């Protein structure tokens, strides 16, 4: 048990920190407030990722042969924390880096690894994840997008939704049904699909917070070469579980930095508003502070385990529940402290912090739904961690 960084990890952190000090753009926070087209903003993020890639900061824990750094998940965690501390813009290819890439590393063919991994790191090809459908959300294995084999191709027809980055993606890790006669988990296949193929139509999905982070995607006779099957045909469920484990287990790695910054800001605001002596406010802020730290401790434990086992396990669902429900509590505490000012949105003259709190409050509602609802996470813990009978 040693929670200090070892000399190698410390040297790595210092190197990241120094590089970010010298190179991270400082205008990201202001830019998010500014009126700017989604495309212009995304181009900016893409260029930023390219700069990180050129400096060797993309794919910290990926193998060197695919353009990664070959370091451990601990270094990966340190890097994400430093990015959050520097308030650096996120990398453009979030899904590629966090979900699809690690899945290709685990299940992909030699050709797929050569063809796709490096371009994920350099942001030359942006990825999305085509899993959910209108009638297959929590019950993902019930999906009905189908792929029929025709010679050297699979021909895909169907409809995906809640696809983050769908509107800008070059490629998609797509989960489809290839054997309608098999039990629902056994007839699925993962395909790596070129989003510029004929027959693909992408539409934006506007959220309650006002933005269009998600898309829905329609597939009409889209031809995917057989060599782009990820893993084995009809073994797509295992591939999907691998992807989802990354989503739950490691995605929240640096959130404690952002949450802590939010609480520090709330402490400042409470002081400015003369509420820092209010026992109730103190209790609630201290509760947030404690829970953020505990989220960080849980994260350190989880990453130490992943370093030993190589892959995130079902206990990653604890992390997912923790970060999503904590953010909702935190945003509610913010609303209570700010009082009537909390509701003022971006553009309002008297809005505090440019309306970030009103936005954050709405956006946090999605946290317990995206990446697997809290109910599904509790099913996973109940069955796969505690060994209780499947409830569904």
Partner 1 sequence: MQFGLSESQRILKENARRFFASECPMSEVRRIAQTETAHDEALWRKMAAQGFPGVVIAEEAGGLGLGHVELAALAEEMGRALAPGGFLSTITAAAAIAAAGSRQYLAGIAAGTVKATVAFLESSASWDPEDVKMRGLTGEKRFVPDAATADFLVVATRESGELALYLVPRGALQITAMPALDLTRRLYKVRFENAGGDLLARGEAARRALERAFDVATVALCAEMTGGMQKMLDIAVEYAKTRKQFGRPIGQYQAVQHACADMLLWTESSRSAAYYAAWALDSASPPEASMAVSIAKSYASDACREVGNRAVQIQGGMGFTWENDTHFYYRRAKASEIAFGDAAYHRERIARMVFDQRLAGTTAG
Helix 255-272 vs helix 279-309: crossing angle, to nearest 10: 170
Contacting partner 1 (CB under 8 A), which of 40, 64, 286, 311? 286
Scanning 187-195, 218-226, 301-309, 357-365 for contacts with partner 1 by CB under 8 A, the matching segment is 301-309
CB-nearer residue toward partner 1: 215 or 327: 327
Contacting partner 1 (CB under 8 A), which of 30, 181, 208, 279? 279
Within the chain, what is the greatest distance between any pair of CA atoms? 73
Cβ-contact 229, 188 below 8 angstroms: no
Report if residue 384 touches partner 1, rule: CB under 8 A: no
Closest CA to 266 of 341, 208, 376, 192: 341
Report if residue 74 touches partner 1, rule: CB under 8 A: yes
What is the closest distance, in whole angstroms, from the C-beta atom of residue 218 to partner 1 in the complex? 33
For the question of residue 247 being annotated catalytic, the response is yes
**Count, residues near partner 1 per rule CB under 8 A:** 54
CB-nearer residue toward partner 1: 7 or 340: 7
What is the closest distance, in whole angstroms, from the C-beta atom of residue 265 to partner 1 in the complex? 12
What is the closest distance, in whole angstroms, from the C-beta atom of residue 321 to partner 1 in the complex? 6
Closest CA to 76 of 91, 94, 62, 93: 62
Question: Mask 12-41, x = binds partner 1 (CB under 8 A)?
Answer: -x----------------------------
What is the closest distance, in whole angstroms, from the C-beta atom of residue 253 to partner 1 in the complex? 11
What is the closest distance, in whole angstroms, from the C-beta atom of residue 64 to partner 1 in the complex? 22
What is the closest distance, in whole angstroms, from the C-beta atom of residue 255 to partner 1 in the complex? 13
Cβ-contact 147, 156 below 8 angstroms: yes
Structure tokens at 371: 């990446």
Report if residue 390 touches partner 1, rule: CB under 8 A: yes
Report the distance separating Cα 201 and Cα 218, nearest Å: 5
Three-class HEC string of 353-364: HHHHHHHHHHHH
Report if residue 287 touches partner 1, rule: CB under 8 A: yes
Q: What is the CA radius of gyration of the chain?
A: 22
Report the distance separating Cα 181 and Cα 162, nearest Å: 27
Report if residue 139 touches partner 1, rule: CB under 8 A: no
Catalytically annotated residue among 75, 82, 125, 247: 247
CB-nearer residue toward partner 1: 1 or 34: 1
Give residue for tokens 């796969």: 384
Report if residue 88 touches partner 1, rule: CB under 8 A: no
Contacting partner 1 (CB under 8 A), which of 285, 337, 352, 358? 285
| Distance (Å) of CA 333 to CA 267, 284, 314, 337 | 11, 7, 30, 6
Measured CA angle at 121 (ends 228, 201), to 5 deg: 50
Report if residue 275 touches partner 1, rule: CB under 8 A: no
Cβ-contact 265, 289 below 8 angstroms: no
Closest CA to 66 of 16, 111, 99: 111
Q: Which residues are catalytic?
A: 247
Which residues contact partner 1 by CB under 8 A? Answer: 1-6, 9, 13, 74, 78, 81, 260, 267, 271, 276, 279, 282-283, 285-287, 289-291, 293-294, 296-298, 300-301, 303-305, 307-308, 315, 318, 321-322, 375, 377-379, 381-383, 385-391
């Amino acid at each position: 048990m040693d929670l200090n960084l070892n000399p190698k990890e410390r040297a790595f952190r210092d190197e990241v920190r120094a590089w970010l000090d010298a190179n991270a753009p400082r205008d990201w926070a202001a830019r998010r407030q500014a009126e700017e087209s989604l495309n212009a903003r995304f181009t900016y993020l893409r260029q930023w990722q390219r700069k990180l890639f050129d400096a060797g900061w993309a794919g910290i824990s990926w193998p060197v042969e695919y353009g990664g750094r070959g370091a451990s998940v601990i270094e990966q965690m340190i890097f994400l924390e430093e990015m959050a501390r520097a308030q650096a813009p996120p990398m453009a290819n979030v899904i590629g880096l966090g979900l699809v890439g690690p899945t290709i590393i685990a299940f992909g063919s030699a050709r797929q690894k050569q063809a796709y991994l490096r371009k994920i790191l350099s942001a030359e090809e942006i990825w999305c994840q085509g899993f959910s459908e209108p009638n297959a959300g929590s019950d993902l294995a019930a999906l009905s997008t189908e792929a029929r084999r025709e010679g050297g191709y699979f021909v895909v027809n169907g409809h995906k939704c809640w696809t983050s980055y769908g509107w800008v993606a070059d490629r998609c890790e797509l989960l489809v049904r290839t054997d309608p006669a098999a039990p629902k988990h056994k007839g699925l296949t993962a395909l790596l699909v070129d989003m510029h193929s004929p027959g693909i139509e992408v539409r934006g999905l506007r959220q309650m917070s006002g933005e269009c982070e998600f898309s829905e995607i329609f597939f009409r006779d889209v031809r995917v070469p057989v060599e782009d099957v990820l893993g084995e045909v009809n073994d797509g469920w295992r591939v999907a579980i691998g992807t989802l484990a990354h989503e739950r287990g490691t995605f929240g790695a640096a959130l404690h930095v952002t949450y802590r910054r939010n609480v520090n800001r709330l402490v400042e605001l409470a002081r400015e508003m003369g509420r820092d002596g209010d026992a109730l406010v103190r209790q609630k802020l201290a509760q947030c502070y404690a829970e953020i730290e505990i989220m960080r401790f849980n994260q350190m434990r989880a990453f130490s385990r992943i370093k030993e086992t190589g892959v995130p396990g079902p206990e990653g669902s604890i992390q997912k529940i923790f970060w999503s429900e904590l953010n909702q509590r935190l945003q509610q505490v913010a609303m209570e402290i700010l009082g009537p000012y909390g509701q003022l949105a971006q553009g309002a003259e008297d809005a505090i912090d440019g309306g970030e709190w009103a936005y954050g409050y709405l956006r946090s509602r999605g946290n317990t739904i995206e990446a697997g609802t809290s109910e599904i996470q509790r099913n996973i813990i109940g069955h796969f961690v505690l060994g209780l009978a499947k409830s569904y």
